[in-house]
Amino acid sequence: MSRFIDRRPNGRHKGAVNRQRFMRRYKKQIQSAVRDAINSRSIKTVDEAGEKIIIPAKDISEPAFGYGQGGVRNVILPGNKEFITGDKIKRPPQGKNAGGNNQASNSSKEGMDDFTFDISKEEFLDLFFEDLALPNLVKTQITKIPFYKSVRAGFTSTGIPANINIIRSLKGALGRKMALGAPKRTRIHELEAEVEALLHQDPTSNRIHEIQEEIKLLKQKIEKIPFIDPFDLKYNFRVKRQIPATQAVMFCIMDVSGSMDETKKDIAKRFFILLYLFLTRTYENVELVFIRHHTSAKEVDEQEFFYSRETGGTVVSSALELMKQILQDRYPRSDWNIYAAQASDGDNWNNDSPRCRDLLVEDILPFLQYFAYIEIMPRHHQSLWDAYLTVKTLYPQFAMQNIEDIKDIYPVFRELFKQQARGSLEK
């Protein structure tokens, strides 16, 4: 008894090609549902599961041609027991009076439930970050650690079974078999012509039997030529080619001073969680530098950045001073695309805000591709916002947005990192 093992990655009655076609067709509805879902997720669950997408029935209806009002038509009614040719049928009601009401009825128009569609975690995040990009990203020098990409480089006679090129191997086998059998087939045609001539001249000649035996022997030799030989096997050959690397570093600067209450810190963390997921999923070679600050600034790791409870007063310039120093020590502009995102409530020591402005204008922004500042303030803006307005007029790669509530995080994030035309942020 034969046994078949199904090793296809897709489950029974499921096709990846059809699934992708469906997602392309209803991309707008799926993206809208993904954007709504992200606002209801917590920091820890934003990337843990997929999502259940509900598509209205009207959006999956197929287009169809219909008849307009008036005219004379012939209609066939299957199963008709009441009418005969020539009878006139009353036209069904149309417009507002055609439908029913909200009461239970046995004559209302049939409908369809909304269509529910589940997407995986990977599909959820891919759709969420699909049309986002780091602004003004350019190619830089190749890093000290070279990057390689596997590319096709023809065929080879040796390799592993998984790399066998079936079509190339069969073509080679067929060509070899035809080449080895060609002289024998030519000899067979010559002998058959000689037999034909002898049959007309001397049908009793012994030479006819000899020729027929030789033809039989030649055909046996042709049949013994193997259909495929190890020599015929061809394998896909790949080589590693060094490719230019697009290096980028993102500075994540978060205010953790006493004026940043738990609600504001939660909003800032949600924003940086989205930024972290976006960068790590979209780009292969992006480094992240995490800086927390109150009266003093400190470079921390990911865990401490998101979950440390340290707090204090507010001196924003301390974070910018630290960023300036890190840039000088580790990230030369000639080798890196440099980005920064800063989250604060804008509450800063008044004499320090002009210092922040000067640091950005003179020492930081000339070396950056993009700087995004979000102020988490539901009421009037603080001194830092006013100082940064001057910076925005001087550098087009400096962007500012205000977040009042959790529901504003996603729209603001998309506005800051939406894909833009090439060169739109260049000076």
Q: Kindly state whether residues 262 and 385 are assigned to the same domain.
A: yes
Give domain status of residue 176, yes or no: yes
Rounded to whole angstroms, the Cα distance separating 263 from 261 reads: 6
Q: Which two tokens stand for residue 35?
A: 């954007």
Residue 156 forms part of a structural domain: no
Statement to judge: residues 304 and 268 lie in one domain: yes
Do 372 and 273 lie in a common domain? Answer: yes
Integer Cα distance of 391 and 320 in angstroms: 14
Same domain, 217 and 266: no
| Residues 268 and 405 grouped into a single domain | yes
Give the C-alpha separation, 135 to 339, whole Å: 9
Write down which residue in 237, 262, 285 finishes a domain.
Answer: 237
If asked whether residues 230 and 265 sit together in one domain, one would say no
Domain that holds residue 311: 248-417
Q: What is the number of domains present in the chain?
A: 3
pTM here? 0.52
Residues 276, 207 share a domain? no
Q: Evaluate the CA torsion angle 314, 319, 322, 328 in order and state its sign.
A: negative
Q: Same structural domain for residues 208 and 296?
A: no
- Whether 45 is covered by a domain: the verdict is yes
Contact 315, 353 (CB under 8 A): no
Residue 101 lies in a domain: no
Are residues 211 and 354 located together in one domain of the fold? no
Q: What angle do CA 271, 338, 412 make, to 5 degrees?
A: 25
In a domain, 68, yes or no: no
Contact yes or no for 155/165 (Cβ under 8 A): yes
Task: Tell me the longest C-alpha to C-alpha distance in the chain.
Answer: 125
Do 249 and 290 meet the contact criterion of CB atoms below 8 Å apart?
no
The answer to whether residues 278 and 328 belong to one domain is yes
Residue 9 domain-assigned? no
Residues 283 and 365 in one domain: yes
The dihedrals phi and psi of 286, each to the nearest 5 degrees, come to: -120, 125
Tens of pLDDT along the chain (427 residues)? Answer: 566 665 555 555 456 667 777 777 777 777 777 666 665 555 445 555 566 666 665 555 556 666 666 667 676 667 777 777 777 777 766 654 444 444 554 544 454 556 676 777 677 666 666 656 665 555 444 344 455 677 788 888 888 888 888 888 888 888 888 888 888 889 888 888 888 888 888 887 888 888 888 888 888 888 888 888 887 888 888 888 765 556 788 899 998 888 888 888 888 888 887 887 777 777 777 888 999 988 889 999 888 887 777 777 788 899 999 999 999 998 888 778 888 999 988 888 778 888 999 999 999 999 888 899 999 887 677 778 888 998 999 998 898 888 888 778 878 887 887 765 434 433 3
Half-sphere CA count of 69, side-chain side, radius 13 A = 4
